């Protein structure tokens, strides 16, 4: 089984990157392993209390991806800078299945990947 890693750096609504990542990941999960690394402003994507009025709730889509088998990790430095704290990877403000771990996880994801897509505006 081939592995795809997607790197995101934008917040959930400033661009369509997060939504594109969901569509790509959803399709890829049918036959492949999918990793997603949330970097820089993308660490806002899994915030649990999102309530967009005119847009789809991106956080919920990522929660669904995680429950369907995607490995989704967030950068701890970026998360801490934006007020998200984690204990053993688990952040109370995050939706289930998405952890704040280590930037070294990005390197590991890249190493095990057959393809990498970085989406950024």
Residues at the site binding another protein, with contacts judged by CB under 8 A: 7, 9, 39-40, 77-78, 103-104, 106-107, 110-116, 118, 120
Token reading at 76: 């701890």
Token reading at 114: 């057959």
CA 94/CA 113 separation, integer angstroms: 26
Shortest Å distance, C-beta 107 to another protein: 5
Token reading at 70: 């995607």
Shortest Å distance, C-beta 115 to another protein: 7
Token reading at 38: 């949330």
Shortest Å distance, C-beta 77 to another protein: 7
Q: Which is nearer to another protein, 78 or 91 (CB)?
A: 78
């Amino acid at each position: 089984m081939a592995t795809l890693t997607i790197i995101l750096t934008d917040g959930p609504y400033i661009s369509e990157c997060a939504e594109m990542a969901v569509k790509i990941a959803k399709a890829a999960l049918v036959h492949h392993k999918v990793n997603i690394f949330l970097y820089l402003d993308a660490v806002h994507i899994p915030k649990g209390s999102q309530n967009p009025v005119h847009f789809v709730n991106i956080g919920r889509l990522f929660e669904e991806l995680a429950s369907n088998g995607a490995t989704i990790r967030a950068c701890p430095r970026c998360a801490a800078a934006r007020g998200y704290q984690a204990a053993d990877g688990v952040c109370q403000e995050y939706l289930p299945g998405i952890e704040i771990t280590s930037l070294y996880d990005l390197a590991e994801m890249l190493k095990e990947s057959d393809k990498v897509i970085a989406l950024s505006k």
